[in-house]
Amino acid sequence: MKFFVDTADVDEIRELADTGLLDGVTTNPSLIMKSGRDIMEVTKEICGLTDGPVSAEVTAMDYDGMMKEAAVLAEIADNVCIKLPLTMDGLKACKALTSAGHQTNVTLCFSATQALMAAKAGATFISPFIGRLDDMGIDGMELIEDIRTIYDNYGYDTQILAASIRTVNHVKDSAIAGADVATIPPSTLKALVKHPLTDKGLDAFMADWAKTGQSIG
């Protein structure tokens, strides 16, 4: 499973990229707002921190506007992935951009039929929003499972990018359901490695090691 980090905070991205475990980055207009940075400037900086895809979202609502913005965003770096909303204009832009050789991420997916449409439009990634469905009392994970089944039924190679992830269990359940990628907030990504028994076991090993008086090397 690939891990993307869902943030426009360059310090967080740099720290995670340094681990060698980061496969890409996703941003959206809310995350750009939160960063307080200029979209062009911060996206360029992020693209320099990872070789993986960096999703940058268009903000126009119409096809022509999306295509103009996509051309500007695509100029930033080779690893920019154009993020488009799941609307008919967004899908039309997705089809055109994918055909022109760009990576695309269709976002704000809340149903299996929307995901089917995105695959037909040739999306590189589809972003089903798990957490926001859970917030409404709808099981977001069922959506991941349904999309996996549909894509496998027809051999679509659009990658399922589990988004709106809020918990470590969201990552685990997305992996079990067969999502190709999870885009994860920095705090949740760091929490994936944590277990109290690991900490407790390590403390015990280190205490015993100190008693030996040895050192390695």
Active site residues: 83
CB 189 within 8 A of CB 5: yes
Determine which residue in the list 2, 92, 132, 190 makes contact with ligand G3P, applying CB under 6 A. 132
d(CA 159, CA 149): 13
Determine which residue in the list 17, 28, 93, 143 makes contact with ligand G3P, applying CB under 6 A. 28
Q: Which helix (H) or strand (E) holds 183?
A: strand 181-184
Q: Could you tell me which stretch among 95-103, 111-119, 129-137, 144-152 binds ligand G3P (CB under 6 A)?
A: 129-137
* 129 touching ligand G3P, by CB under 6 A: yes
d(CA 163, CA 160): 9
Under rule CB under 6 A, how many of the chain's residues touch ligand G3P? Answer: 9
* 163 touching ligand G3P, by CB under 6 A: yes
Determine which residue in the list 3, 5, 6, 17 makes contact with ligand G3P, applying CB under 6 A. 6
Residues with Cβ within 8 Å of residue 41, at least 6 apart in sequence: none
Q: Which residue is nearest to ligand G3P (CB)?
A: 164
Which residues, 44 to 73, sit near ligand G3P by CB under 6 A?
A: none
Instruction: In angstroms, give the least distance from the CB of 6 to ligand G3P.
Output: 5
Instruction: In angstroms, give the least distance from the CB of 198 to ligand G3P.
Output: 27
The secondary structure of 56-77 as a DSSP string is EE---SSHHHHHHHHHHHHTT-
* 179 touching ligand G3P, by CB under 6 A: no
d(CA 210, CA 208): 5
How open is the CA angle 186-160-91, to the nearest 5 degrees?
110
Site of interaction with ligand G3P (CB under 6 A) = 6, 26, 28, 129, 131-132, 163-164, 183
